[in-house]
Each structure stands twice: as C-alpha cells, then as structure tokens.
Structure 1
Amino acid sequence: MSEEAKYEDVAILKEIAELLNEGTDTIPTLSSVLKKLLHVTGLQTGWIFLIDENGSHHLAADEALPPALAQNNKERMCHGDCWCVNKYNNQTLKKATNIIECKRIEDVIEEGAGETGGLTHHATVPLRAGQERFGVLNVGSPNKTHFRKNELALLEAIAYQIGTALKRLKLTQREQETALIAERNRLARDLHDSVNQLLFSLSLTARAGVEMSEPEDMKQTFSYIQDMAQEALGEMRALIWQLRPQGLENGLVSALRSYAEILGLQIETQVIGATNIPGKVEEALWRIGQEALANCKKHAQTTKAKLIFHTSPDEVTLTIKDTGCGFLYEENLPIPSLGLKNMKSRTEALKGIFRLSSQPGSGTEIQIRIPL
C-alpha cells in the first residue's frame, strides 16, 4: 500500500471515530456512521444487522438498499435467514469476508420480485469488541464482486471501531439504568421520611380529635380527616413500593404477593419451573404486575386475584387474573386504558407477547410471555 493510501485510510478512520464518539443513541449513531462509511469509501449500499444472544437479527441501519430489498417496509431484510447471519451464528465469521453472495438478492432474482440495481455480492464484517460480538456490517456496490485485501483491512478496522462504540453505548445505558434506580430509591426514602410520616402524624392527630371532641359534628369532621389520612397513607405506601420494590430481592412472586397485601388483595400464587431471569425482564414483570394488581383493586370490584408464574429455559410467563366484574374487550379493538397500553409496551419492548381477555361478569386475565 502506498503512503498516500495509508494516509487516506487513517483519515477515514479518524472521521469514523469522531462520529462514533459523538453518538449517544445506538440506532441514530449506526445510521450516521454507515452513511459516512459509504461516502468516504465510495461504496454505494450497506446495512447493519444487530444480532442477539439467541441468534435473532434485526435491521439496525441501512443505506441505499436496492428497491427489491427496500419494498414492503424492508420486509426481506427483517425476516428470514441469510448466509452472513448464519456464518455469524455458527461462529465461522471471524474477520472481514471477501465476498459473500447475497442470499436475499438471489431469492429476489429467483422469484422475479423486483429490481436489484446490479447488486449481487457484499463484504461481511463482524462487529465486535474484544470477545463481545454485536452483529454484522455488510457493504457493497452494483456489479462489484471482489474486495481487495486493503479494502477488507479498512472495513475490519472500521467494524472494530463500531463494535467498541456499541460496547460503550451498552455500558452507558447500564449506567443510566443504575442511576435511575438510585434516584428512585432516593425519592422513595424522601417520601417515606417526610410525606409518609406527616400523613401518619395527621392520622394520629385526627384520631385524638375524635376522642377529645364532644360535639358530634366535630367528631365526624375529625373522623373524616382520619379516614382520608389513612387512605392517603395507603396510597403513599403503594407509591413507595412502586418506586422501590423492597421485596424484589426475595423474588418477583414474593414482591408481587407483598404488594397485593398492601393493596388489600387476597392473592393465590402458583410457581411453575425454576430459571434465573435477567434483571431487565424481572424489572419489567414487576412493573407490569404492579399495574395489573392495581387494576384489580381499582376496577375489578373484587378483593381476590390469582397469579401464575411459569419459567422455562426459553421464556417466562406471568398470568394475573381475577373473577371480578370484567369489561367488554375483543382482540381487534384498541386497548382501552393507558395502564394496559403501558403493560403492552413494556412487554413488546422485550420482544414479548401481551394477551388480554375480559368479558362483563367473567373477570379479566392478563398474560405476559417474554423470551429469555
């Protein structure tokens, strides 16, 4: 490689590094870097697959896809297997590979499903940082069927930069989650030490007022204040639990059982299986379970509920049901409340399935299934 070419490669790596260092969000960062990479290398098409521990891939960024791959909201890129993803999952993709024929393009040509723009091949590079792996970078150009050794070396260096940035963003996200938990704990302590104590004092004062007052109307006033203070105290305790689940260290089911008791619910629990679940999944199920139990208390017109917690090596299922008043709901109808929408959003954020069934007079059942 000539000295001039070396300086050009260094300049490209510097531009990519500066862009990656500015990134704070994974998807926008990958999109910007991919666009810059194609611009500085003169390549025309590229895409990035992020691949999880289970081997499932999702399209995180793309640029100038051929029409056949871009149609139907990029459906061909989001579903189905391909050789580069298979090589990655089989641990045979160790470095920049010169050349992989694109199975997705071949399928398009075979089916006569659209215009490919002359793209037939692409280089594939694993995204990694040390021993951690994140996915693959694919780049190509129309009618280009070969990448030179120096081109592959540059792509590999860029892919390592991207992998390092992904690791940094992942660590930053963990730090933010830790900071959020710490802030919740601080707020819960403040509420317990200040507002909670004031409400308790108000309740005691109102009770003393009932006992010391002689006029009946004054007794009723103090009694009303006491009842309101007790109700507010119960709400405050429930809020503190929502901020800081003190029983979660003893397990999700134990925490939800304790929360149900705070709400005044009689809950029957059933646990099937024994598998450790990731903290993020446990946190989501905790929040979903809280919302479901609060709905039982507020809307079901019953004090009884049942919780079933089923774990397997592949997924975890949480079911909460009551025999209360229920409501009219069909699967093709919009979800009727913000709380239920939040449960669905939390579930789908972890690639889970949210199921709701309810009929007037037949109670309500909520089932959450999240893959592990």
Structure 2
Amino acid sequence: MQKGSVQSEISILKEIAELLNEGTEIDCVLSQVLKKLLHVTGLQTGWIFLIDDEGKHVMAASESLPPALTFNHCAKMKEGHCWCVNRYRDGRLDKATNIIECQRIETAILEKTGDHAGLTHHATVPLRAGYERFGLLNIGSPNKTHFNQEELNLLEAVAFQIGTALKRIKLTLREQETMLITERNRLARDLHDSVNQLLFSLSLTARAGEELSESTEVKQTFSYMQDLAQEALGEMRALIWQLRPQGLENGLLSAFCGYADMLGLDLKTKVDGVAAFPGNVEEALWRIGQEALANCKKHAQTRHAFIKLSITDTATTMAVSDNGCGFHYDESQELPSFGLRSMKSRTEALGGTFNLASKLGGGTEIIIHIPS
C-alpha cells in the first residue's frame, strides 16, 4: 500500500483496535474505523455493508464516495444487487478478494448519474467473527485496479477486527436490554408490593372513616379521600403494566386485550399474517399501542378501540383507531403531545414511519409501519 513503508501493519492494526475498543455505537464506530483505515493506508474510498441473515444489506458507513455513487442520496448503494453482495449471500465470498469491476459504478456510468472520479474497481472483504458473518468491507482508490496479496491480508485482518467488535457490541446491547427488562420487573414488583398496597389500605381506611363518621362534612372529606385513592390506584396499575407487561409472553394481542380491559375499553383486534416479531420490534409495538390506548381512554370520549396488525416478509404495520371525538391536526405542525412524539420516535428508531390521522368528530387513527 502507498504508506506501507512508513507505517507497519502492526501499528495500523493497533490504531484500528484502539478505535474499535472504545466504541459502543455501531454506525459511529464503523464510520470512524473506515476513515482511519483509509488515512493510514493512503487509499481514498470505502464503504461498509451490513447484511442480515436474510441477505438484506444496508450501507452502514462510507467515505469519499464519487458523485456517481452519491447521486440521489446514495440510492445506488442502498438498493439492488451487486457482485460482491451476491457472492457474500451465496457463500462464495469467504476471504479478501479483488472485484474486477464494481457493478454499482458500472451501472451508474451507464445511467450517467455522475462522475466516477476514476474509481472502477475495489477490494471486498467479509466482516466475520468465527462462524458469524456481519457484512462486507469494500475499499478502493481512483485508477487502482488491483490489490496485491499483502494488501488483501491487511484488509482481512482489519475486517476480522471489525467483525469481532460488531459481535462484542451486539452482545453488550443484548445484555443491556436484558438488564433493563430485569430492572423494570424489579421496579414493577416493588411498586406493587409497597405503593400499591399503601394506596389500597388508604382507600379502605377512607371508606371505614366515612361509614363511622356522623358529620356530613367529615363524611364528604373521607369520600373525597377514597376517590383520590382509587384514582391513584388506577394510575399505579397502569404504570405497573407499562413497566412489566404481564401477558406479553402470551403474545402482543393478548397483552393489548388485557391492558384495554384494565382501562375499561372495548378492544377489537385483527391480524393478517403470522405474528412473530424480533424482541425490539415487539417491545416498540407494545409501548406504542399502550400509549395509543391510554390516549383513547383519556381523550377520545369513547369505549371502543380497534387494533389491526399486518405482518409480511418485508414489514409489520400496526393501526390503532377509535371512533371518538377526534381533534384538529395539522400535519405541517409538530405533534401536539409528548406521547405522540414518543410513539413517532420509537417508530423511527427502528427505521419505520409514523402516520396520524384525526379530525373533529371523526375519530383518530395511528399507523405504524416498521420494515423487517
């Protein structure tokens, strides 16, 4: 490589390892490592594809792509097939190799979408840790049409470091998610065993005080205390449901029905497709559905709500609607409540889209679309 005589492979790998060991966010780590790799090797262009178990790829990082590949927000990189991705999918690509020509650049040239800046070829290396595969590292430079074995060996070593770091980050995130669920369960249990019981005792005491008192004013005070205690109990039960979704182990719709029953709503449900979700998607749908049903209870002035789930190989769509009073909503303005903004944020965190439709007297509908 151009700077191979100045900086040894060991020092390059050391710098890359230091970056990888510090990072905890995948996209940020990949972007920093790619930039560092190009800097220390003297190469100019690179991109990283993360590829899931079904063969679907996303461009997780890129550096100095030519205009031909950045055209229309990098559409050529985000869609379609190419030789390196196809070879990765069918198992033929298991080590660092030269790709004679880049199919994406070739297509861009034919379609005249921009200058390729002399980039026509690239090396491609699978990202792996043991038997686990995560995607591809692609490296190129203007007018460079071949990588020698020494260069490929270095890229393969870097790719292995990246794969190992990806595995570590994913394991860490999974552990954090497990710890979060455990902590939610503990907090829910503590609230149920302490605050919930105290509120229940307060309600009984207030009722006894009302029955034993002879003064009308004192009776009214105890009655008011009992009403407040009952209202607080209802809020506490809803909070415990949100922290610890009892019944979710029996499926998302079962949990929605139980939650709606607790709120006093008449919920109708419908499912198209097989309701099997990744844990993070199910968690997001559950939290979004909870918020939507709670809004129906508080604001819609109706007891009737409807949830429809549509599941395909490519996406999950959830629609939550009611036939209540509705409200005036201007799509050009910010969402009118923190709860709605939270639903939108949860959806977009999974690469999905959030849509709200409501009008005075015409009910409200929230549609969540999350790609698989």
Q: How high is the TM-score relative to the length of structure 1?
A: 0.92
The answer to whether the 8 Å contact 1:275/1:312 transfers is no
Asked if 1:293 corresponds to 2:275, the answer is no
Q: Which amino acid aligns with 1:81?
A: H
The answer to whether the 8 Å contact 2:76/2:108 transfers is no
1:149 offset after TM fit, Å?
A: 1.2
1:36 offset after TM fit, Å?
A: 1.7
Any residues of structure 2 matched to 1:334-353 within 5 Å, and which?
A: 334-353=334-353
1:166 offset after TM fit, Å?
A: 0.4
The answer to whether the 8 Å contact 2:44/2:64 transfers is yes
Aligned to 2:156: 156
1:351 offset after TM fit, Å?
A: 3.0
Structure 1 outlier segments of 4+, above 4 Å: 330-334
Q: Which amino acid aligns with 1:226?
A: Q
Quote the Cα distance in structure 1 between the aligned partners of 2:181 and 2:274: 26
Quote the Cα distance in structure 2 between the aligned partners of 1:351 and 1:358: 24
The answer to whether the 8 Å contact 1:268/1:305 transfers is yes
1:133 offset after TM fit, Å?
A: 1.5
Query: CA 1:123 to 1:227, structure 2 compared with 1: closer, same or farther past 3 Å?
Result: same
Quote the Cα distance in structure 2 between the aligned partners of 1:99 and 1:311: 38
Quote the Cα distance in structure 2 between the aligned partners of 1:105 and 1:150: 25
Q: How high is the TM-score relative to the length of structure 2?
A: 0.92
Q: Which moved more, 1:154-163 or 1:232-241?
A: 154-163
Percent identity of the aligned residues? Answer: 68
Cα deviations across residues 301-348 of structure 1 (Å, max 9, x unaligned)? Answer: 111212233444444332222111012336555433322222222223
State the aligned residue count. Answer: 369
The answer to whether the 8 Å contact 1:330/1:357 transfers is no
Query: CA 1:240 to 1:141, structure 2 compared with 1: closer, same or farther past 3 Å?
Result: same
Asked if 1:58 corresponds to 2:58, the answer is yes
Aligned to 2:319: 319
Asked if 1:98 corresponds to 2:114, the answer is no
Asked if 1:213 corresponds to 2:208, the answer is no
Quote the Cα distance in structure 1 between the aligned partners of 2:352 and 2:253: 19
The answer to whether the 8 Å contact 2:123/2:138 transfers is yes
Runs of at least 5 residues in structure 2 that lack an aligned partner in the other structure: none
Q: Which amino acid aligns with 1:141?
A: S
Aligned to 1:11: 11
Aligned to 1:274: 274
Quote the Cα distance in structure 2 between the aligned partners of 1:347 and 1:133: 27
Asked if 1:48 corresponds to 2:63, the answer is no
Quote the Cα distance in structure 2 between the aligned partners of 1:335 and 1:145: 52
1:49 offset after TM fit, Å?
A: 1.4
1:275 offset after TM fit, Å?
A: 4.1
- 1:101 alignment partner, SS class: coil
Any residues of structure 2 matched to 1:219-298 within 5 Å, and which?
A: 219-298=219-298
Cα deviations across residues 150-176 of structure 1 (Å, max 9, x unaligned)? Answer: 111111111111111101100000011
Query: CA 1:54 to 1:359, structure 2 compared with 1: closer, same or farther past 3 Å?
Result: farther
Question: RMSD between aligned alpha carbons?
Answer: 2.3
Query: CA 1:229 to 1:271, structure 2 compared with 1: closer, same or farther past 3 Å?
Result: same
